[in-house]
Every structure is written in structure tokens, then in C-alpha cells.
Amino acid sequence: MCTARPGWATVSFRQPLYKKQMQNIKVNLIDILDINEAKQTIRVEPLATMGQITAFLNPLGWTLPVLPELDDLTVGGLIMGVGIETSSHNFGLFQHCCVAYEVVLADGSVVTCSKDENSDLFYALPWSYGTLGFLVSATIQIIPAKKYLKMEYIPVHSKKDMVKVFADETNKGEENMFVEGLVYSENSAVIMLGNMTDTADPEKINPIGYFWKPWFFKHVEEFLESGSAVEYIPLRHYYHRHSRSIFWEIQDIIPFGNHPVFRYLCGWTVPPKISLLKLTQGEATKQLYEKYQIIQDMLVPMKDLGDALKVFHDEIEMYPLWLCPFKLFNLPGMIHPQDASDEMYVDIGAYGAPKTKQYEAKRTTRKLEAYVSRVNGFQMLYADTYMTREEFYDMFDHTLYNKMRDELPFCKQAFPEVYDKINKKVRS
């Protein structure tokens, strides 16, 4: 079994072929169920989206600690897959902000799980890609929201500074609520530090989300020339800062989209919905993306960032790259640090056309996968994975997952293994 959500409707990169062979179960649950301000939690159904949640929570003065930035990402997809955001160095991944899950198992029973109740299931669900049961609700922690985000842009012009400033600022913990890096070349990047505030210098307020505003990654690039600066960004504009330009993928789709004339006259028509692009994508476009674009997020220990950037440069030489730090808690489940303590990691996101001559999708991705595995890192599985089953087992700890599959009634008969839902052969 799998959910009946059509492949084109998802934010995952490819269309899932396995949906054609499996029993499709409709889990059309799209609502925000309730908010408990005393306990600081919100209970939502799995198809509630990030855009929907910020629209609901922010006017009430609340927000999610980790709010992945594309509007259409769903709670179900982020829990069963993985969700990350620039506050993850303090709060962990999306799953780490979840307090309880309600799941329908293969035998039809409904089970609630949390740290204290059915805790094995609670820790096994993230990264299980819907192969332990169907999520029907999640209770998620909320935190107070403020009106603006005070953003400090720090341009850096050497690889050494890039790695040092990024790691140092990340390690300051709560002093910087949000930390993000956009790498523009081998030796230049802008590191961004954000903190929520209710007061702002009116001259420095920048509502970056309006349709006539420049694409966020282009706006940030300007600080490489102009030097450090501070801006106040309305909170919801900050959260969805990469939505309008789909990170930087939009420049290959609408190359003239950042021109002021286009922005002022037609900016309101973009971005095209990711689901519309997937639905209308023909075979030729699919092949073009497969051959000439890389879409990957690799999660590597912070201590290996400098080395990892070199590997990415040698293999794909593609910029911008997205840097997002996150704390990997020493908790049971598919991913955890090598040692018995929490460890700081960084997500390196590569979205675009590689510039290296030797780039070949499968071969290059396999090289990156092997490197990431070697440094005890992880690949995000919404994109193309070329690992063999053995390599996949090496990267992800299946101990608790397999135990749950053995224990949960009819689980193995009803659901495939994660590998059988994420490997390239079952996605097109």
C-alpha cells in the first residue's frame, strides 16, 4: 500500500512509479485541527501545507520552530521524509519538533505514539516514507512569533572565511535563531543571520516577498559587492523567501523573470506551481532535467564542510549552493550521529545545471553519495538516489526500523521497504 496522492502533486522531484503497482489509499486529510496555546502545540492533518500553517499561525502570534520554506510542502511528507530549515541548528529537523503522531497501521488499528508512548514507533516513523503505516495527524510544538526578522548579511570572500564564519555563527546557538549560507563561487558566499523582533528601523524594512521584488538569491548576491548590511523582513516573507524563485530553479524556467519590467507587469503570475510543472512536464523535459540538472541535498557533518565544498566544486562546479546547518540529536531512528552525543551537520543543497565537463548524472551522483556516506553523512531522499540496497543500508541505520516492521501486524505484507520507494528505478 501507499498513499493515493498523485505523484505530480508532491514536492518530491520525481514521479513515483510504485504508485501504479500498489494499492492506493486515500488519505485526503488537509486540515489544521486545533491549537493548544497553553501547551504550545498545534495538531494538524498530514496534507496541511507549510503555506497554510504560517497563514494560520503567524497572525495569532505563533510559528513552527522549523518551517521548511516551500509553501506546498506537507506535514506528512516532511515527517515521513525529512524537513529542514535555517533554524534547525537550534531545533533539529522537522521531526524533532513533533510531539506525537497518530498512525493507522496495516491491520486498520489506530495508534498514537510519542516519546513516552509507543516510543519505538515514534522514533522509527521519520524517514520511513510511509512504510510503517499511514500518518493521520501530528502534534507539533509551536513557539511565539514576532513581526519581523532582523537579518544580517555577511559577505565572505575566501573559502576559509566561508567555513569559519558559517560554523562559528552556527555554534553560537540561540544567539542566532536562523543561520543560512548562499555560496556563489568557490571562494565567495553570503552568510545570513536572523533573529525575530517586533521593532524595526522603518528605513530598513524590506518586504522581499512582494511579486515586484527581486528574486531573493539575486538580492542576497548584491551584498557581495555592497558589503555587510542589516534588513528587517516581515516574518512570513522570510519563511517563504525561496518560494517565488523556487530557490534558483526559476532562472532556467523563466530566464527573464527577474527583469524589473517582467516583475512589475507579470511578477504576480509566478512562481508556477511545482505541481503544475510536474503535471505538464513532458518526457523530453524530464530527460533534459535528468541529463543536465542536478537536484540534491546532502547532509554532512559540519566538521567536513570545507572538504565537502571542494568535492562539490570538483564534481559539479555549480552555484549557488544552499548551506543550512542542523543539529542531529543522538536519538534512535534511521539517522543519528556516529558518536553518542548530538552533532552539528550541514545540508548542502545543489539545484541547477552542473558546469563540469565530466558531469554525468548517475556517475557523478554516485560519487557524491559515496563521499557523503564515507563522512557519515546522509542523502535527502526526495531527489534521485542511485545507491544500491547495500549502500543504502550502510548510510541509514535500519535497526529500529526493521524491529518495527517485524513487530507491527501485517506491516511487511502491506508495505514495501523504504529502499523500494526511493531508489531511482521506482521513480521517473
Ligand X SMILES: CC(C)=CCC[C@@H](C)[C@H]1CC[C@H]2C3=C(CC[C@]12C)[C@@]1(C)CC[C@H](O)C[C@@H]1CC3
Binding residues vs ligand FAD (CB under 6 A): 253-254, 272, 277, 281, 285, 288
The verdict on 217 binding ligand X (CB under 6 A) reads: no
> Closest approach of Cβ 134 to ligand FAD, in Å?
30
246 is in the binding site of which of ligand NDP, ligand FAD, ligand X, none (Cβ under 5 to 8 A by kind)? ligand X
Tell me: does residue 334 bind ligand NDP (CB under 6 A). Answer: no
What residue 214 binds from ligand NDP, ligand X, ligand FAD, none (CB within 5 to 8 A, per partner kind)?
Answer: none
Q: Which residues of 405-417 are buried (b: 16+ CB within 10 A; e: fewer)?
A: beebeebeebbbb
Grid coordinates representing 419 are 529502499
190, interface contact from ligand FAD, ligand NDP, ligand X, none, CB < 5-8 Å by kind = none
Q: CB of residue 293 vs ligand FAD: minimum separation in angstroms?
A: 8
Q: Which is nearer to ligand FAD, 104 or 254 (CB)?
A: 254
Using CA atoms, how far residue 81 sits from 131, 134, 281, in Å, is 11, 13, 24
Residues in Cβ contact with 78 at an 8 Å cutoff, skipping those fewer than 6 apart: 50, 68, 94, 95
Question: 327 - beta bridge partners?
Answer: 344
Non-local CB neighbours of 39 within 8 Å, separated by 6+ positions: none
For residue 278, the partner it binds in ligand X, ligand FAD, ligand NDP, none, with Cβ less than 5 to 8 A by kind, is ligand X
**Nearest distance from C-beta of residue 99 to ligand NDP, angstroms:** 17
**How many CB atoms lie under 10 A from the CB of residue 25?**
14
For cell 546547518, name the residue: 325
Q: Binding residue for ligand X (CB under 6 A) from 281, 307, 366, 375? A: 281
The answer for residues whose C-beta is within 8 angstroms of residue 266's C-beta and 6 or more apart is none
**Amino acid occupying residue 16:** P
Question: Could you tell me the CA-to-CA distances from 163 to 119, 248, 345, 380 in Å, in that order?
Answer: 37, 22, 13, 22
Closer to ligand X by Cβ: residue 82 or 145: 82
Do residues 382 and 296 lie in contact, with contact meaning Cβ atoms separated by under 8 Å?
Answer: no
Beta bridge partner(s), residue 321: 183, 350
Least separation in angstroms between residue 387's CB and ligand NDP is: 16
String marking each residue 323-362 x if it binds ligand X according to CB under 6 A: --------------------------x-x-----------
Count of Cβ atoms closer than 10 Å to residue 255 Cβ? 9
Q: Provide the greatest CA pair distance for the chain.
A: 62
* Helices vs. strands in the chain: H and E counts, helices first: 19, 17
Nearer to ligand FAD, 112 or 281 (CB): 281
DSSP state of 263: H
Classify residue 312 by burial, with Cβ atoms within 10 Å: 0-12, 13-18, 19+: buried
Closest CA to 49 of 27, 24, 68: 68
> Cell 511565539 sits at which residue?
144
Give the footprint of ligand NDP on residues 48-107 (CB under 6 A): 68-70, 73-74, 76-78, 80-85
CB nearer to ligand FAD: give 290 or 307: 290
Shortest distance, CB of residue 119 to ligand X, whole angstroms? Answer: 27
Locate 268 and state its grid cell: 504576480
**Among 69, 316, 319, 303, residue whose Cα is nearest residue 166:** 303
Should residue 142 be labelled a site residue for ligand X when binding is judged by CB under 6 A? Answer: no
Query: Does 11 interact with ligand X (rule: CB under 6 A)?
Result: yes
For the chain, how are helix, strand and coil distributed in percent, rounded to 5?
Answer: 35, 25, 40
Q: Does 119 bind ligand X (CB under 6 A)?
A: no
Please choose which of ligand NDP, ligand X, ligand FAD, none residue 3 contacts, taking the beta carbon within 5 to 8 angstroms, the exact cut-off set by kind: ligand NDP
Q: Shortest gap between Cβ of 246 and ligand X (angstroms)?
A: 5
Stretch that binds ligand X, among 212-220, 224-232, 246-254, 358-366 (CB under 6 A): 246-254
Query: Does 295 sit near ligand X (CB under 6 A)?
Result: yes
* Site residues for ligand NDP per CB under 6 A: 2-3, 5, 10-12, 16, 27, 46, 68-70, 73-74, 76-78, 80-85, 129-130, 134-135, 380, 382, 421
* Site residues for ligand X per CB under 6 A: 11, 13, 84, 246-247, 249, 274, 277-278, 281, 285, 289, 295, 297, 349, 351, 380
